């Protein structure tokens, strides 16, 4: 089949490459000429494992091309996937739909009679219905996307499920044809009306955010009551009905999806006169964990971070990504910098993006360089290589061996045994830790 993919960011570039991998001829469309030039040259302007190779493979095979020209897109194929951004609207919790509206209007103006315009962007319920009423010659369908950055190709080619929001058997048959190899591999497909298809996506994100904030709320209780949220999570996670996934207490979620999606969902529910007030608490718990890391940093620095050298391990909002949108790590780093700390950030992939967005922070080109001479270390993005840092060797690099594990991923006993003052969210200090002295009173190890 001949497909277009409109909007070639994280979602669209992945979708375009994966559709070519499924055997389709694909034209990627974006309004950003620099992005299109890079993609044409086989360069992906963000970090996604395997994606550059897949794009190069299919630009070379001739199955994947890129353009900025909507007229070319309109005549190219009869199925058009819209993958443009839906960020938070300025000054509101709601979603900004200007990009979605513009992309649908532009492709509808050029699409052949009978084309299928398939929305993949995450949108407030009611959007598909509204768009469908605007275009006469083309049909609308909604096919929400659930991919995770870092696993985007795997999640697109072997998704947990596909959701088809359709109004006609023609639309369903067309989508089944597009995804035939995925369906043949046994992927379940859920066919739904427009509102349900849109809501599946926002409900899934709301559930995941709630699970993360639930365990982070338990961390708050553990901090107040002297419990250990790591042990608590393990114990409740043995219950199949609860499960272990997304139950790691830490500095919370960020990125370009969960925060804006739960806000947009609560906002849309208000418009529908339904209360999803709990999602605002989910958001508030999440933001309070950032405050907690800042508070722990102050505590470990003897009450204030002014003048302290702080190494921040991580800038991306999660590992295997260079996406820094609403990154908890950079949010904490920037706040400590404002409090007068000398902050040095290291991340394996996100340094360029971080530098552009936070030019006043210091940056290191390795974890070792960031650690050297630090009064405090903050572990804020769960890259596997940070788990592999040897605490004894690290203790020799820093000025003072103090660390906050904001991801609940490090072995506190091991770090404490190597002489570190170790703090993790919702967990007591490891047994046998030496008493902590303030920044000024503490003895430097170098």
Ligand X SMILES: NC(=O)c1ccc[n+]([C@@H]2O[C@H](COP(=O)([O-])OP(=O)(O)OC[C@H]3O[C@@H](n4cnc5c(N)ncnc54)[C@H](O)[C@@H]3O)[C@@H](O)[C@H]2O)c1
Q: Which residues bind ligand X (CB under 6 A)?
A: 6-12, 29-32, 35, 83-86, 99, 102-103, 106, 121-122, 145, 147, 149, 256-257
Min dist CB 217 to ligand X, Å, is: 25
**Which CB, 344 or 353, lies closer to ligand X?**
353
Q: How far is the CB of 148 from ligand X (least distance, A)?
A: 6
Among 198, 206, 194, 55, CA closest to 121 = 198
Greatest alpha-carbon pair distance for the chain in Å reads: 76
For 9, the 3-state DSSP assignment is coil
Q: Indicate the SS3 state at residue 81.
A: strand
Pairing of strands 421-424, 402-405: parallel
Residue 357 burial (CB < 10 Å; 0-12/13-18/19+)? middle
d(C-alpha 337, C-alpha 360), whole Å: 8
Question: What residues are paired with 26 via a beta bridge?
Answer: 3, 64
Tell me the C-alpha distance between 250 and 259, whole Å.
16
Nearest residue (CB) to ligand X, 12 versus 74:
12
CB 30 to ligand X: min, Å: 4
Q: Residue 374 corresponds to which tokens in the numbers above?
A: 């630090």
Q: In Å, how far are 14, 36, 285, 347 from 45, measured between CA atoms? A: 12, 10, 33, 17
Instruction: Supply angle C-alpha 190, 192, 195, rounded to 5.
Output: 135
The residues assigned a catalytic role are: 257
Asked if 413 contacts 396 with a C-beta cutoff of 8 angstroms, the reply is no
Q: Which of 41, 34, 110, 33 is nearest to 68 (CA)?
A: 33
Q: HSE of 101 in the Cβ direction (CA atoms, 13 Å)?
A: 10
State in angstroms the smallest separation of the CB of 53 from ligand X.
19
Of 257 and 312, nearer to ligand X (C-beta) is 257
Query: Shortest distance, CB of residue 321 to ligand X, whole angstroms?
Result: 9
Query: Considering beta carbons, is residue 28 or 252 the nearer one to ligand X?
Result: 28
Of all residues in this chain, which one has the CB nearest to ligand X in the complex? 9
DSSP SS3 for 411: coil
The smaller minimum CB distance to ligand X, of residues 30 and 405, is found at 30
List Cα–Cα distances, 187 to 16, 81, 108, 176, 314, in angstroms: 19, 20, 30, 11, 35
Comparing CB distances to ligand X, the nearer of 147 and 233 is: 147
Least distance in Å: CB of 67 to ligand X? 10
Which one, 36 or 315, has the nearer CB to ligand X? 36
CB of 6 to ligand X, least distance (A): 5
């Amino acid at each position: 089949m001949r497909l277009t993919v409109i909007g070639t960011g994280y979602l669209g570039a992945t979708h375009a490459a994966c559709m070519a991998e499924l055997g389709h001829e694909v034209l990627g469309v974006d309004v950003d000429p620099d992005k299109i030039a890079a993609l044409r040259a086989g360069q992906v302007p963000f970090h996604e494992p395997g994606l550059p190779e897949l794009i190069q493979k299919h630009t070379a095979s001739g199955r994947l091309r890129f353009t900025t020209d909507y007229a070319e897109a309109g005549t190219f194929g009869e199925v058009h996937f819209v993958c443009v951004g839906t960020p938070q609207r300025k000054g509101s919790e709601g979603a900004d739909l200007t990009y979605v509206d513009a992309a649908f209007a532009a492709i509808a103006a050029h699409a052949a009679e009978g084309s299928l315009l398939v929305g993949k962007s995450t949108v407030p319920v009611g959007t598909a219905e509204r768009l469908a009423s605007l275009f006469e010659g083309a049909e609308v369908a909604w096919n929400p996307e659930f991919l995770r950055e870092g696993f985007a190709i795997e999640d697109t080619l072997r998704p947990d499920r596909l959701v088809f929001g359709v109004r006609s058997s023609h639309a369903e048959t067309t989508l089944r044809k597009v995804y035939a190899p995925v369906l043949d591999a046994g992927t379940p497909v859920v066919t739904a009306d427009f509102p349900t298809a849109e809501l599946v996506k926002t409900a899934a994100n709301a559930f995941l955010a709630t699970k993360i904030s639930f365990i982070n709320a338990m961390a708050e209780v553990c901090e107040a009551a002297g419990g250990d949220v790591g042990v608590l999570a393990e114990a409740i996670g043995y219950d199949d009905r609860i499960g272990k996934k997304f139950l790691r207490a830490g500095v919370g979620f960020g990125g370009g999806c969960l925060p804006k999606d739960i806000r947009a969902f609560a906002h849309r529910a208000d418009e529908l006169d339904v209360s999803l007030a709990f999602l605002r608490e989910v958001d508030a718990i999440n933001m309070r964990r950032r405050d907690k890391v800042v508070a722990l940093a102050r505590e470990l620095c003897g009450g204030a971070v002014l003048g302290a050298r702080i190494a921040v391990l991580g800038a991306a909002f999660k590992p295997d990504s260079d996406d820094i949108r609403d990154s908890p790590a950079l949010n904490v780093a920037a706040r400590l910098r404002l409090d007068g700390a000398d902050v040095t950030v290291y991340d394996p992939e996100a340094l360029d993006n971080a530098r552009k967005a936070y030019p006043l922070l210091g940056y290191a080109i390795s974890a070792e360089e960031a650690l050297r001479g630090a009064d405090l270390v903050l572990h804020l993005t769960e890259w596997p290589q940070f788990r592999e840092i040897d605490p004894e060797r690290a203790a020799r690099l820093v000025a003072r061996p103090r660390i906050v594990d904001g991801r609940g991923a490090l072995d506190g006993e091991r770090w404490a045994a190597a002489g570190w003052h170790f703090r993790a969210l919702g967990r007591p200090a490891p047994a046998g830790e030496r008493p902590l002295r303030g920044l000024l009173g503490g003895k430097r190890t170098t």
